[in-house]
Structure 1
Amino acid sequence: MCSFQNDSPARSRSSAQALYRIATTFSREGGDEWRPSGVVQRAGAASRGARPAACDARVHLRWGRQPSGTTFTTGGSSMSGRITRTLSLAGLVLGLVVPAHLGAQQARDGALPVPDANNHVELMVPMRDGVELATSVYVPEGDGTWPVIVERTPYSKARGAPKGQRLTAAGYVYVHQDSRGRFRSEGAYEPYQTDIADGYDTVEWAATQPWSNGKVGVTGRSAMGIHANLTAAGAPPHLAAAYVVTASESLFDESYFNGGVFREHFRGNFMRLQGKEDQIPIMKSRSIMDEQWKATDLIHHRRNITVPMFNLGGWYDMFAKGEVGNFVYLQNHGLDGARGNQKLWMGAWGHSPLDGDLEYPGDIPLGPRTFDFELPWFDYWLKEKDTGIMEMPAVTYYHMASARPGHTSSLNGFRQGDSWPPPSTMTRFYLQPGGGVSKTRPSGDTMAVSYVHDPDNPVPTFGGANYNNNRDFPITVGPVDQRQIGDRPDYLRFHSAPLDADLHVQGRIDVELWVATDVPDTDFMVKLVDVYPDGYEAIILDTALRTRFRYGREPADVEMMKPGRPTLLTIDLWSTSNTFERGHRLGVHVASSNAPRYEVNPSTGEAPGRSTLASRKATNTILLDQRRPSAIVLPIVAELPPAVDIP
């Protein structure tokens, strides 16, 4: 048993022992090598194969403010390295801060302050390649071991105090870590490239600490949710469950591109905010799947996941495809431990608040709803408490319908089921030469409609699955009225006659477009629209496809268009749950630009991000004849399940 020196007055060991242990425990790095967690090992500081004996290591803890140069020692070797200097600049050692008013009390009774959300420990946790990641640890009051919840972030762990307070009060250790290359962590910042390995190492480190009972969960929303997904894909042996909010299954095809078209507003703005605008063309040029993309895409690694996951998302979220897709795959095809143990919750939400003149009654905004189920989920899987969460049906989703303020439909509300999608009949609704939509297949032989795409005058964005993340470059989100686009010749509207009965649509939707163009490469943007009796045109779904990627995104799949040759495009519009009510019209809108949501195709055929030629206009054609009909394929449900009350 190794003892550890504390250069402070004697203190009660009762409530603070866990904090002592955090700073003084040993962690296995590989093989039989052991060393103090959070201490940078230097040459000669330890011998391989030697476990701590009588006192092979010492960690000095000083309380309160310290001068620069505070020293850790191990194996008799003094180390006043980067970690100590960094912490000293903040006036603390290992993140343990004792306010002045507590110092006087401490002198009187010798009691150590009880750890809370602002009195935690910061460590540098080593990864397998020696890079150390800044990690805050929040420990419940008192002695014992607890289950651990890990969250990894590129947005600074300094924001973790409120969550640390909440989780420690619930009986969990909260481990909050800056991802590689971010804020106080070492290494190069290459988003998500090493997160499978780093997540694995962090979970296994946390599981072996003396404050841990060996059961670990991962959690996170958005980028942190992507970290959690990738950690689960690494299959750490001690990982027991995951709680993931609004996260993608494919960074490549959800976060950076949709259908091969660069997400100009979201991803471009993100890079501008990071001061990396000069790298936007480089990112645009990476529109073909490669090994680096595969390293970050969950769809290439989720076959390894072995744990229950709670996926929470929204129909207007920019990652809705992955939220649904990850659930469907793991629930039906996952490994033991994952298969059959998944939950999916989909609200009428976006990644940021919805715009437009619609409201969905009974739905709670994503912000307050985000972590409603986190503790019941982890209590069940990490504490073996019967919280009732596994008695919930596998899928809970908000079904949308007419939602004009003051005239909202009773069909709006939450529904539940044991699987997704619900049983349905796939039904084609054909685009008609006169601008209509119906189940009747066109009968003519040469019918088509053409328009001119001008890259210098793109169709403007109004709503959709966007993220309004930059006040200097705002964008609207969700079911915004498309009438704002106006009557443009390059924006085609196909609307059905007023429906004579409710049309319930639940599941994934495809659009089959027969097209031709006079340029080597162009884009097609498609929207599913609910047209209200008063004319309001609400987006339900929208996405894009670049024609060179119509056969796939691998290098061998890329094929340019042959001018004038008809070609069938199949466009995945993702999934929804919506009733087009009696008196409404079913709308399908088609264009070749949607800016700034998407990069505008210059029509030159050059590699994306490397254009040197002047942009040119493209004449694009939608074929609507008997041999080459264009259609939207809808999953029609005869009867909706009953609505459920959600507290």
Structure 2
Amino acid sequence: MPENKHHAQRHVQAIKNHALTLVLLLIANTIGLFATTALAQTKDIVMVPMRDGVNLATNIYLPEGDGPWPVVLTRTPYDKDGADRSAATYNERGYALVSQDVRGRYDSEGENRPFETDIEDGYDTVEWIADQSFSDGKIGIFGTSAPGITSNLAAASAPPSLTAAYVTVAPDSLFYRSRFVGGVFKESHSGGWLRGQGVSEDVINAYRARAVLDEQWRATDFLFHRENVQIPVYNVGGWHDIYAEGSLHNFVYLQNEGHPEARGKQKLFMGAFGHGVLQGDLEYPGGGLINGDMEQQLRWWDYWLKDIDNGIMDEPPVSYYMMASARKGAVSDKNRVVHADSWPPQHELTRFYLQPDMSLSTEMPDASNASKTYQFDPANPVPTVGGQNLGQDVGPRDQREIGERQDYLRFETEVLEEDVVVAGHIDMELYVATDALDTDFVVKLVDIYPDGYEALILDYPLRTRFRDGQNAEDVKMMTPGEVEKLTINMWSTAQTFEKGHRIGVHVTSSNYPRFAVNPNNGAALDDMAAPAKTAENTIYFDSQRPSAIVLPVVSESLD
């Protein structure tokens, strides 16, 4: 490529990414990911060859004095020069820092296909570092969000020289279970991020149509390669983060079922933060990263890369923030960090049933025939108000902002006479019918405050054609008018619904732009021309069709 064309392309790319980069920097500073220190004085810039001949631009920051040193690596689509701000901290602690532009980004060669070559590229980069004179052969890899994803993928390639990883807010399955949730494309998160990476609308439309698990997803998704991870990984997640469930799943799998070299060596911290500044009238003191992210990360490197017995592996492997009543200026002392030997804590799965009078109760409904029908018009979707979003509109906003709508059903318990402590995975069992071949159902778990504030805790959808799964053989359309039981994966949380509050469950069929809107026409996912239709959707809540949210209720003390 001619040099002037290359620089022009970089300039356009930089403009496209400026807004997203600012958001991501805000995220990183919000959850304590950058050290406040002087910039590194010097760095070397090299082009590292990959196995196919593509060269990746790489910054190398070395401590003063003679090496070799242990090395920490980060691989990013957000510009390798972002490491300038933290390099001095690593160097002063005795670590060489390597920061690399991933393939097709900034100064690196190759085609930009986000995360589709990072297993191989991660392996090649680690082993290249191991061969350099500045490296003592012990290498750690770290990153937050996208660089966390590349860290996981590198670990899944099992490079012999990779010693440990520190991964903050990254999914267990980017393509299969995170880009699509319940088979529904995460429009504002995935679509918006891809646009910020310079991906064309045609390519984004092609991604949007790939909700069915295919061989390319299997070849490139961490979920299908995590059994190869042989190293200790410190996973950090946030309850209001876009990848909350992935942080949990990655820890639980590697700790209990992973490669023998990985089992029993994992750590997890789940805080009360999101992928950006939390919106709404709630705050969680101490809900950021444990001990400040940089210091905890350096303790991790000291133990695994320098063999310093600093006690980090003697501490409980799991720490998580128990959220509770948290209005700004009136935060309950039940908001706290809990330390544990495993996740989840002991609990009893407790069904809270939707009732004909729009209440929510642990008692089975006794009506023989009860239901509620609404019209779901794709041209008038329910607007997104908070949730696990990327960069903006993040967290436990007040769902009263949605207002009263015929397609938005609110169920709630009586005022709680005692605390209900929930910690673990949540499912929604929903009996439904529709007159469409395909439609969506969306469920929210809400903490309702005494003054009526409806704090969003979790919100998740299911596209009915994927009710049996996202493998090709699982996909089937609905039979109009036929009642079916859906199980909606509501992910996990740790939430104390305090005495005086109510537990709320909201049911609808859209949440836009958090999730793509179903046109209700049953057309192929890549058919953008088929006209949308209004669906008539029915929710059942009677003795024969008892819709319920299944909460993991903890009865014993967690302290």
Q: TM-score, normalising length from structure 1?
A: 0.79
Deviations 1:388-417 (A, max 9, x none): 211221111110111112322111111110
Alpha-carbon deviation of 1:135?
1.0
Partner amino acid, structure 1, of 2:329: G
Instruction: After TM superposition, give the deviation of residue 334 of structure 1 in Å.
Output: 1.3
* Partner residue, 2:442: 525
Q: For the structure 1 residues 463 and 551, does the alpha-carbon distance in structure 2 shift closer, same or farther, using more than 3 Å as the test? A: same
Name the residue aligned to 1:125: 48
Hey, what's the Cα distance between the residues in 1 that align with 2:286 and 2:113? 41
Structure 2 residue 190 is the aligned partner of structure 1 residue 267: yes
Instruction: Report SS of the residue matched to 2:379.
Output: coil
Q: 1:167 aligns with which of 82, 90, 96?
A: 90
Q: 275, 294, 312: which is aligned to 1:389?
A: 312
The one of 518, 529, 542 equivalent to 1:601 is: 518
User: Deviation at 1:164?
Assistant: 1.8
Partner residue in 1 for 2:262: 338
Partners of 1:254 and 1:318 within 8 A in 2: no
Structure 1 equivalent of residue 506 of structure 2: 589
Q: Which residue of 2 aligns with 1:326?
A: 250
Quote the Cα distance in structure 2 between the aligned partners of 1:613 and 1:144: 63
| AA at the equivalent of 1:578 | Q
Whole-angstrom CA distance in 2 between matches of 1:440 and 1:176 = 56
Does the alignment pair 1:304 with 2:228? yes
Aligned match for 1:627, one of 517, 534, 544: 544
Aligned twin of 2:286: 362
Q: Tell me how far apart the structure 1 counterparts of residues 199 and 49 of structure 2 sit (CA, whole Å).
A: 29
Q: What amino acid is the match of 1:219?
A: F
Correspondence list, 1:108-123, <5 A: 117-123=40-46
Distance in 2, matches of 1:271 and 1:224, equals 15
**What is the count of residue pairs matched by the alignment?**
527
Corresponding position of 1:182: 105
1:444 CA displacement: 2.2
2:240 alignment partner in structure 1 = 316
Partners of 1:155 and 1:295 in 2: CA distance = 24
**Partner residue in 1 for 2:31:** none
- 1:275: how far off? 5.8
* 1:155 Cα deviation from its structure 2 partner: 1.1
* Structure 2 Cα separation of the partners of residues 246 and 561 of structure 1: 35
Q: Which residue of 2 aligns with 1:435?
A: 358
- Structure 1: unaligned runs, 5 residues or longer: 1-80, 88-115, 469-474, 643-647
How many angstroms apart in 2 are the aligned matches of 1:547 and 1:332? 32
Q: Measured at CA, do residues 436 and 632 of structure 1 come closer, stay the same or move farther in structure 2, by a change above 3 Å?
A: same
Equivalent residue number for residue 130 of structure 2: 207
2:436 corresponds to which letter in structure 1?
Answer: V
Partner of 2:400: 483
Is 1:572 the counterpart of 2:486? The answer is no
1:633 deviates by 0.5
Partner in structure 2 of residue 460 of structure 1: 383
Q: What is the CA distance between 1:586 and its match in structure 2?
A: 0.8
Question: What's the counterpart of residue 35 of structure 2?
Answer: none
**Distance in 1 of aligned mates of 2:62 and 2:260:** 31
- What does the per-residue CA deviation read over 1:369-398, in whole Å, with 9 as the maximum and x for residues that have no partner? 443311100110010001221122111111
* CA–CA distance in structure 2, aligned partners of residues 372 and 502 of structure 1: 35
Indicate the residue corresponding to 2:160 in structure 1. 237
1:283 paired with 2:207, answer: yes
Counterparts of 1:534 and 1:206, CA distance in 2: 58
Q: Deviations over 1:117-144 (max 9, x none)?
A: 2421111111111111111111111112
Superposed displacement of residue 361, structure 1 = 2.3
1:560 corresponds to which of 465, 477, 484: 477
Aligned-pair CA distance for 1:82: 9.6
Q: For 2:330, what is the secondary structure of its paired residue?
A: coil
Q: In 2, Cα distance between the equivalents of 1:253 and 1:434?
A: 38
Q: Which has the higher contact order (CA 8 A, sep 6+)?
A: 2
Native 8 Å contact 1:245 1:370 kept in 2: no
Contact 1:281–1:610 (8 Å) recurs in 2:
no
What is the distance in 2 between the residues matched to 1:593 and 1:565? 21
Alpha carbons 1:345, 1:397 under 8 Å: kept: yes
Query: TM-score, normalized by length of structure 2?
Result: 0.91
Larger CA Rg, structure 1 vs 2? 1
C-alpha separation in 1, matches of 2:269 and 2:536: 42
2:255 and 2:149 map into 1 onto residues whose CA distance is 18
Asked whether the 8 Å contact 1:254–1:319 carries over to 2, the reply is: no
Identity, in percent, stands at 54
| Contact kept in structure 1, 2:189 and 2:390, CA below 8 Å | yes
**Aligned twin of 2:272:** 348
Output the amino acid matched with 1:265: S
Name 2:27's counterpart in structure 1: none
Aligned partner of residue 372 in structure 1, secondary structure: helix
Q: How far is 1:283 from its partner?
A: 1.7
Question: Runs of at least 4 residues of structure 1 off by over 4 A?
Answer: none
8 A contact 1:511–1:631 mirrored in 2: yes
Q: Distance in 2 between matches of 1:262 and 1:380?
A: 40
Q: Displacement, 1:270?
A: 2.2
Structure 2 alignment gaps of length 5 or more: 8-38
1:611 CA drift (Å): 2.6
Give deviations 1:424-459, integer Å, cap 9, x for gaps.
Answer: 111111111111111111122221111110111110
Equivalent residue, structure 2, for 1:52: none
RMSD: 1.9
Distance 2:268 2:416 in 1: 31
1:235-280 alpha-carbon deviations (Å, 9 max, x no partner)? 1111110000001111124542111111111122223332623433
2:456 is aligned with 1:539: yes
Distance 1:397 1:130 in 2: 44
Offset at 1:365? 6.7
> Is this contact kept in 2: 1:283–1:609, CA < 8 A?
no
